[in-house]
Amino acid sequence: MVRSEELGIGYEHDEGVAWVVEDLDLEVEHGVVTCLIGESGCGKSTIGNAISGLLPPYARTYGRLVVADRVVIDGDKMNFTGVRGKVVVRIAQDPASALNPYLTIGEQLSTAIRTHFPGLSEHDVRSKALELLSDVMLGEDVYDRYPHQLSGGMKRRAAIALALAPEPEVIVADEPTSALDAYLKYAVASLLKKLQREWELTLVFITHDVSIARYICDQVVVVYAGRIVEEGASPRCLESPSHPYLELLLKALPKRFSKDRLADIPGMPPRPGMYPTGCKFHPRCPYVFERCRQEEPPIIKAGDRLVRCWRYYEQSLT
Ligand SMILES: Nc1ncnc2c1ncn2[C@@H]1O[C@H](COP(=O)(O)OP(=O)(O)OP(=O)(O)O)[C@@H](O)[C@H]1O
Ligand code: SF4
Ligand SMILES: [Mg+2]
């Protein structure tokens, strides 16, 4: 499981720190698929990189982050020793780039297995590598092939097998289906879902793609300006949105020939360090009223989900 408590993440620059994520309370249960969804620049990858221990050295933090029972961020201290690349792994947008072109898939899998499970006999290392290939639905023949001898889809599968070699508990997949055709997109998502179930993994899946989110998610977390604005069980959130931001995102989806990608809604998300006062969405919200400009709404339970919006807060009082 992954839990953050009032987590802040920013990037240091010449004039100070631009805080991207502020006071994030995220709770991802063990063994579910959680989709982080939101427009470009909302902080999805920043959250994903924090969970996978891949923030750059000039990142600054506050609050706490717990990954699989280990406190990895505590105030301004980060400690991912024994966690990064082992307990939690990241699958990037182009997972195939993780493959070494000069080594066969079998050599790469075996090296990873030996690193994480020293003491295994060579026979067991090979068996484990073949098992991983079978888990990602690749044949034994792939063991002796070089990456350039595989199709794009096979390379992705091999890279996913490599990511699984340390037997992680948490996988962060950052846009793993973007830039793929519809067939491959669903093939990759199906594979990740199958592995998540079989291995009882916690999968944090970052995507712009609502159709994939609807397909794969157990939990939806909508992020705006580094904050959770709506959170709940999928696919209901993505069918009947509560927060005005999610409502506009879904309305902006192209209706015909839709690839179900999030289209732009009027205006731009604010840049880190320039977040507005009050509700961070207020300059773009069609329902804005005075309180929205002054005070930031708390996130509250509204029916089957959590929503950060004064409209819901005020309704909850009546
Ligand atoms: N390594 C970094 N150094 C400095 N600023 C960064 C860094 N990574 C992200 N940012 C800034 O943080 C903000 C959020 O970026 P992030 O990549 O987390 O968003 P995102 O939601 O993943 O966007 P996208 O959908 O485009 O991938 C952006 O303003 C971005 O410029
Ligand atoms: S708090 Fe106000 S501005 Fe923010 S989403 Fe709700 S109605 Fe819109
Ligand atoms: Mg990103």
**Tens-digit pLDDT profile for residues 153-212:** 899 999 999 999 999 999 999 998 887 888 888 999 999 999 999 999 999 999 988 889
What pLDDT, on the 0 to 100 scale, is given for residue 178? 81
300 touches ligand 2 (CB under 6 Å): no
pLDDT confidence of residue 191: 92
Q: Which helix (H) or strand (E) holds 202?
A: strand 202-207
Name the 3-class secondary structure at 118: coil
C-alpha 291/C-alpha 91 separation (Å) is: 41
CA-angle at 162, arms to 221 and 126, nearest 5° = 145
In the block, residue with structure tokens 């794009």: 152
Query: Which pLDDT value is given to residue 118?
Result: 94
Per-residue CA distances from 314 to 34, 280, 285, 311 (Å): 28, 18, 17, 5
CB of 284 closer than 6 A to ligand 2? Answer: no
235: cis peptide before it, omega within 30°?
yes
Cα maximum dimension of the chain: 69
For all residues of the chain together, what is the average pLDDT? 92
Q: Which atom of ligand 2 is nearest to the CA of 287?
A: 7
CA distance linking residue 221 with residue 27, whole number of Å: 10
Task: Note the pLDDT of residue 270.
Answer: 94
Cα-to-centroid distance, 127 and ligand 3 (Å) = 36
Predicted local distance difference test score (pLDDT) of residue 260: 59
What is the per-residue pLDDT for 276?
Answer: 95
- In 3D space, the residue among 177, 232, 181, 243 whose CA is nearest the CA of residue 210 turns out to be 177
Question: How far away, in angstroms, is 70 Cα from ligand 3 center?
Answer: 25
CA 274 from chain center: how many Å?
Answer: 24
Which pLDDT score, from 0 to 100, does residue 210 have? 86
Q: What pLDDT is attached to residue 76?
A: 97
Fold exhibited by the domain 2-87+206-317: Rossmann fold (3.40.50)
pTM here is 0.94
Nearest to 37 by CA among 187, 228, 203: 228
Ligand 2 pocket member 307 (CB < 6 A):
no
- Tell whether ligand 2 has an atom less than 6 A from the beta carbon of residue 287: yes
pLDDT of residue 96: 78
Nearest-atom number in ligand 1 for the CA of 43 is 18
pLDDT of residue 261: 62
Residue whose C-alpha is closest to residue 202's, from 164, 172, 176, 231: 172
Amino acid 77 reads: K
Please report the pLDDT score of residue 131 as a whole number: 97
Catalogue the long-range contacts made by 13-17 (C-beta closer than 8 Å, 24 or more residues apart).
13/58, 16/273, 17/60
> Residue 108: what pLDDT?
98
Please provide residue 61's backbone torsions phi and psi, each rounded to the nearest 5 degrees.
Answer: -135, 160
User: Are 314 and 279 spatial neighbours (Cβ–Cβ below 8 Å)?
Assistant: no
At 258 the pLDDT is 55
Helix residue ranges, H only, the chain: 44-51, 105-116, 122-135, 152-164, 182-198, 210-216, 236-239, 244-251, 290-294, 310-317
Q: Looking at residue 255, what is its pLDDT? A: 58
- The pLDDT of residue 205: 96
Q: Check if 217 has its Cβ closer than 6 Å to any atom of ligand 2.
A: no
Ligand 1 site residues (CB inside 6 A) read 11, 20, 38, 40-46, 56, 271-272
Give the pLDDT of residue 282.
97
The list of the chain residues with pLDDT below 50 reads: 256-257
